[in-house]
């Protein structure tokens, strides 16, 4: 037995030594992919508007840059932890077949070390460059996404994305806290908007990749419920999102531009959701990815209006 184990160890060592050295640019690209940059970009989109609204004008540019760097590292750490924890499920899904841990571009151990180091640095960075509240919120965002969503809810509940999606709301609070050192009511309204938006954004994706999630044993709503049920839930959360966006209108710094954008873009978002539901009750797949991408456009446009309105002279 010991001889067999020794032989296996030698073979593994030989395989490790025989692994070709990858170009530096390729290594960097794979570590960046580990952080889920597309998710990170979406999170950062809402940070700056929150900071501008908190300042009611342009904040100090160094503070904005420092907050974005810290927020990006926090989000990247959470994404890397997620890739590590979900690596076996990712191997079963076509949507995630090119992730670095699935293709063995990065070892499991290196991915875990990278996630921890990036997470610790992000918290220390936010504390050193902004304030303790922003740093605590950064740590809470990582904990929520990694422990509450990835480790606890994702594989157990069809409601996983609702409560796990709270992690995606933290950048608003981090940005606001970085400017003011506290959390005002407009920050919490913005938080609620993103919280309600997340299911309406993600559940169409679960409809499109239903077979993928089913193969991986992930009970997304699109797996455990029919299209009509999912479509109805998307409508309800879309309406709730648009309604909550109107609660921000009385906030200091918000004016006619945001009001017009919230109404027009919200109406379009609702229209897309109803079209998806209409297809579902007719037994058709519809265009869930159109709703998915449309929801990203909606949040981006809404965030842009939040950023511009406080800067207008009237």
Domains of the chain: 34-182 (1.10.357.140), 184-314 (1.20.120.1780)
What global pTM score does this model have? Answer: 0.86
pLDDT at residue 20 in the model: 60
Q: Over the stretch 151-201, which tens digit does the pLDDT of each residue have?
A: 888 778 777 888 878 888 999 999 999 999 999 999 999 999 999 999 999
pLDDT, mean of residues 120-124: 97
Enter the DSSP assignment of 95.
G
For 141: left if phi > 0, alpha if psi spans -120 to 50, otherwise beta; the answer is: alpha
DSSP 132-192: HHHHHHHHHHHHIIIIIIIIIITTT-TTHHHHHGGGGGHHHHHHHHHHHSS--HHHHHHHH
For the ranges 70-79, 98-107, 171-180, which has the lowest average pLDDT?
98-107
Most confident listed range (100-104, 134-138, 152-156) = 134-138
> How large is the average pLDDT for residues 115-131?
96
Whether residue 277 has pLDDT greater than 60? yes
73/201 Cα distance (integer angstroms)? 23
What six digits make up the tokens of 20? Answer: 């070709």
How much is the average pLDDT of 246-263?
94
Per-residue pLDDT, averaged over 284-304, amounts to 90
Mean pLDDT is lowest, of 104-118, 166-180, 206-220, 272-286, for 206-220
Task: Report the 10 Å Cβ neighbour count for 272.
Answer: 25
Using the predicted structure, report yes or no on whether residue 3 has a pLDDT greater than 60: no
3-state secondary structure 267-300: HHHHHHHHHHHHHHHCCCCCCHHHHHHHHHHHHH
Average pLDDT over residues 136-154: 91
Whether the per-residue pLDDT at 14 is higher than 80: the answer is no
What's the first-to-final CA gap in the chain, in angstroms?
81
Count CB neighbours of 60 within 10 A: 12
Q: Is the pLDDT of residue 262 over 90?
A: yes
Asked if pLDDT for residue 1 goes beyond 80, the answer is no
Non-local (6+) Cβ contacts of 158 within 8 A are: 219, 220, 221, 223, 224, 225
Question: Are the CB atoms for 77 and 84 separated by under 8 Å?
Answer: no
Average pLDDT over residues 137-156: 89
Handedness of CA 92, 98, 104, 108 (dihedral sign): negative
More confident of the two residues 36 and 248: 248
């Amino acid at each position: 037995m010991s001889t067999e184990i020794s032989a296996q160890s030698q073979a593994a060592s030989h395989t490790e030594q025989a692994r070709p050295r990858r170009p530096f640019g390729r290594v960097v690209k794979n570590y960046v992919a580990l952080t889920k940059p597309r998710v990170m970009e979406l999170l950062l989109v809402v940070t700056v508007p929150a900071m501008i609204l908190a300042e009611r004008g342009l904040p100090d540019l160094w503070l904005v840059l420092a907050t974005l760097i810290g927020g990006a590292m926090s989000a990247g750490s959470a994404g890397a932890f997620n890739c590590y924890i979900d690596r076996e499920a990712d191997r079963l899904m076509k949507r995630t077949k090119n992730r670095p841990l699935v293709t063995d571009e990065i070892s499991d151990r290196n991915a875990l070390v990278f996630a921890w180091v990036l997470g610790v640095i992000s918290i220390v960075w936010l504390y050193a460059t902004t304030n303790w509240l922003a740093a605590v919120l950064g740590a809470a965002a990582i904990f929520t996404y990694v422990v509450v969503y990835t480790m606890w809810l994702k594989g157990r509940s069809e409601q996983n994305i609702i409560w796990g999606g709270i992690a995606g709301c933290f950048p608003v609070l981090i940005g606001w806290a970085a400017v003011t050192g506290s959390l005002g009511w407009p920050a919490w309204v913005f938080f609620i908007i993103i919280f309600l938006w997340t299911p309406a954004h993600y559940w169409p994706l679960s409809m499109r990749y239903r077979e993928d999630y089913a193969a991986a044993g992930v009970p997304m709503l699109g797996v455990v419920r029919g299209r009509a049920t999912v479509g109805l839930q998307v409508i309800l959360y879309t309406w709730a999102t648009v309604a909550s966006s109107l609660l921000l209108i009385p906030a200091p710094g918000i004016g006619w531009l945001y009001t017009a954008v919230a109404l027009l873009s919200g109406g379009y978002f609702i229209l897309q959701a109803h079209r998806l539901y209409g297809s579902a009750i007719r037994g058709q797949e519809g265009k869930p990815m159109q709703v998915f991408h449309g929801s990203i456009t909606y949040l981006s446009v809404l965030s842009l209006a939040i950023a511009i309105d406080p800067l207008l002279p009237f």
